[in-house]
Chains A and B, each alone.
Chain A
């Protein structure tokens, strides 16, 4: 008997992928086909994400074949789907919809998600629920039908740290459907239509001066039961799928040597000998080594994934990423000396997505402070490594067996 991977290899090797790309390009010349039409055709040809199932933008092929399709399409100057703008959809909503969505939901959402026609955002964190996400207070109550089998919900509460909410058509949302059970058990996962009545989006200005994120106020927002992902009360487990993908998305990525945050300071060091001091030299060399070692460790992690041997090192990647971004950018401000006293622009703007390595040293330094908070604080990540990887005893919990409504807050 063939394993799944072997079967997929037979169905779609690199040559098969190239053949399919050729057929796509022949039928839809990128030079004359409107961008959206081409992206839809690419999705329908199974070349969007080849590891997704047939009919949902994929071919059920190994994930490692995706770069083959991407390279061929890039070489033909085919339009791309602007992954930075739709990162939350691609990285978090899509894997969750794939894992927990009904066939109807998958058909409805995945294609416009991938093409970028519909931007997704994430309604998880709340002012009162950051690291303790499971303690969230946004309520979803049955609106119509009966309580055991509602055909619709009304959602009220406040969400925060929502990037792209002002551009989004859809949100992945976790809300409390049962306050009478312990906190993890009373959550349900929904897709929320951001154009529904009662959704209000306000920019949340951050310490860099701009507003990548929003606050989202939900006042009696109607959500049909057909937009629920997973079973009622199963929201915590569904959210775990989303969050694991978030950490991979934030910690991953390939860069060349001296790419990423270290690029700025090494260029300044080489260009401006007058800024060099012995102490800074020592720090730069340490940071250079740490950055390069982290890059190699990232490559090793990808080798493990490609070999089908995912290791627990993945949880370490984001911790290192955050610490290095902070240390290197802090170094860079000091290296810049007089220029380190300046800042490019405090004007409130609405960037499309984060740019950790953009703008000036001051901006990079300030933005990096968020790296150890967003997507799981470094403290929570250390707990995860200690408990799930090293097997150390869990934190002593006072909130595990108490109904959510009885917790002190």
Chain B
């Protein structure tokens, strides 16, 4: 597949950006859809989460490297596609739609955004360029070592500290010790980006396979994105940003993560609606399709309305990020608050309107329910984002 280029023109200030999907974005979507239709069917996901390796690494490699989705946000000069958050959001929608057990959000969005914010689009250091290139072409996978429930602006953890270098360490190298809990997409990661306390506070690159790095899988509400706890014991590290630059890089990554997770939740909600509509047309009780009962029809009509609204605001957030609009904080907070609630509602309705079969393990409805609920907590609950909006749009509390 040809990699998508940034097609859309920046939006003039104060105007609502293009909220439709471009042809290039539709092509990208079709490619991802085709991959998932073949290799990420509900039965595949259900089988995968029962194994010891809940992430589907061959599928991730196909998405990341073969389709080029890992490098969407990376500039072409560093081996990426030089695309924007609009294109990244389309892929996120599809991962949500298939509840794909791949670390796209953690690696291609959050870790990549953190690294790009930390080192810039033209990194001074060869190591940084190489790292970004290896993320872009899918050779390596990365994760930001921060709890999944963190939100843009949340207090940064101080549970990992810079400790004294070991004998024989190269100059400029550092050692980290401490723990971080509930990290998303770190299990399949080769590289960890670790915020760590020291003088100054910094963002560090850690080889996930190095001595002194222990990742412990945790039983997670959403098995399609299994979290892990991280323990670092004098793990070797390289600093990529310090002080305010590190804080800003983490905040930018969480903001991008929240917006792309909103897009993922949009795709998930769309899938739940489609699945439910198809089911109520097929399922018969009282000698008629259950979808002919007005009690069912009206619930689905309401769901359709909220999905249509979610699509508009998810696109708005992606467009604002792509344009680097001053409205990014408001757009991200709105999108994450709205899409989080919409996805949970869609998944809950999906379970309910499937009746008994929706409550079983064999039916995939629960995959979506768990991913939706977990996703609504991740990168800030809807309430967190509304609270953030209160400050952003001058509606102070009592």
Identify the A interface with B (CB < 8 A): 266, 269-270, 273, 276-278, 280-282, 284-286, 288-290, 292-294, 296-297, 299-300, 303-304, 307, 309, 313, 316, 319-320, 379, 381-383, 385-387, 389-396
The verdict on A297 contacting B277 (CB below 8 Å), with A281-B397, A289-B337, A382-B302 known, is no
* B14: min CB distance to chain A, Å: 10
> Can you list 23 A-B contacts (CB < 8 A)?
A269-B395, A276-B396, A281-B395, A281-B398, A285-B386, A286-B386, A289-B338, A289-B386, A290-B309, A296-B16, A297-B308, A297-B312, A382-B297, A382-B302, A385-B304, A386-B298, A386-B300, A390-B300, A390-B301, A392-B277, A393-B289, A394-B292, A396-B292
State in angstroms the CA–CA spacing of A303 and B312 once bound together: 11
Q: List 14 additional A-B contacts (Cβ < 8 Å) besides A297-B308, A319-B301, A395-B292.
A: A269-B395, A288-B393, A292-B313, A296-B312, A296-B316, A300-B312, A303-B18, A383-B294, A386-B301, A387-B297, A392-B281, A392-B300, A393-B289, A396-B292
The verdict on A297 contacting B280 (CB below 8 Å), with A289-B334, A307-B20 known, is no
Interface string of B316-337 (1 = CB under 8 A from A): 1000000000000000001001
B315 engages A300 (CB within 8 Å): yes
The verdict on A266 contacting B395 (CB below 8 Å), with A289-B386, A297-B309, A395-B294 known, is yes
B:341-396 near A, CB below 8 Å: 383, 386-387, 389-390, 393-396
State in angstroms the CA–CA spacing of A313 and B270 once bound together: 14
Query: Which residues of A are found within 8 Å of B383, using beta-carbon distances?
Result: 282
A284 engages B395 (CB within 8 Å): yes
Query: Which residues of B are found within 8 Å of A394, using beta-carbon distances?
Result: 292
State in angstroms the CA–CA spacing of A284 and B300 once bound together: 26
Query: Which residues of B are found within 8 Å of A383, using beta-carbon distances?
Result: 294, 297-298, 301
State in angstroms the CA–CA spacing of A391 and B301 once bound together: 11
Question: Number of B residues contacting the other chain (C-beta, 8 Å)?
Answer: 42
B:7-43 near A, CB below 8 Å: 16, 18-20
State in angstroms the CA–CA spacing of A352 and B68 once bound together: 59
Query: Which residue on B lies nearest to A276, using beta carbons?
Result: B398
- Total A-B contacts with CB atoms under 8 angstroms apart: 124
B19 engages A285 (CB within 8 Å): no
Interface flag for B291 (CB, 8 Å): yes
Interface flag for B182 (CB, 8 Å): no
Interface centre among B277, B305, B393, B398 (most CB of A within 10 A): B305
State the main secondary structure of chain B at its contact with A: helix
State in angstroms the CA–CA spacing of A302 and B45 once bound together: 38
Interface flag for B86 (CB, 8 Å): no
State in angstroms the CA–CA spacing of A285 and B386 once bound together: 6
Identify the B interface with A (CB < 8 A): 16, 18-20, 277, 280-281, 288-289, 291-292, 294, 296-298, 300-302, 304-305, 308-313, 315-316, 334, 337-338, 383, 386-387, 389-390, 393-398
* B279: min CB distance to chain A, Å: 11
B312 engages A309 (CB within 8 Å): no
B291 engages A392 (CB within 8 Å): yes
State in angstroms the CA–CA spacing of A294 and B338 once bound together: 11
* A286: min CB distance to chain B, Å: 7
State in angstroms the CA–CA spacing of A316 and B304 once bound together: 8
The residue that B16 contacts in the complex, of A286, A294, A299, with Cβ under 8 A, is A299
Query: Which residues of B are found within 8 Å of A386, using beta-carbon distances?
Result: 297-298, 300-301
State in angstroms the CA–CA spacing of A313 and B310 once bound together: 12
Query: Which residues of B are found within 8 Å of A391, using beta-carbon distances?
Result: 277, 281
State in angstroms the CA–CA spacing of A1 and B6 once bound together: 31
The verdict on A300 contacting B20 (CB below 8 Å), with A288-B393, A288-B395 known, is yes
The residue that A382 contacts in the complex, of B288, B301, B315, B387, with Cβ under 8 A, is B301
A393 engages B20 (CB within 8 Å): no
Lowest 3 CB-CB distances: which A-B pairs, in order? A386-B297, A297-B312, A393-B292
State in angstroms the CA–CA spacing of A285 and B390 once bound together: 7
* B97: min CB distance to chain A, Å: 17
The verdict on A389 contacting B304 (CB below 8 Å), with A282-B386, A288-B393, A307-B20 known, is yes
B294 engages A281 (CB within 8 Å): no
State in angstroms the CA–CA spacing of A392 and B390 once bound together: 40
Query: Which residue on B lies nearest to A387, using beta carbons?
Result: B297
Query: Which residues of A are found within 8 Å of B291, using beta-carbon distances?
Result: 392-393
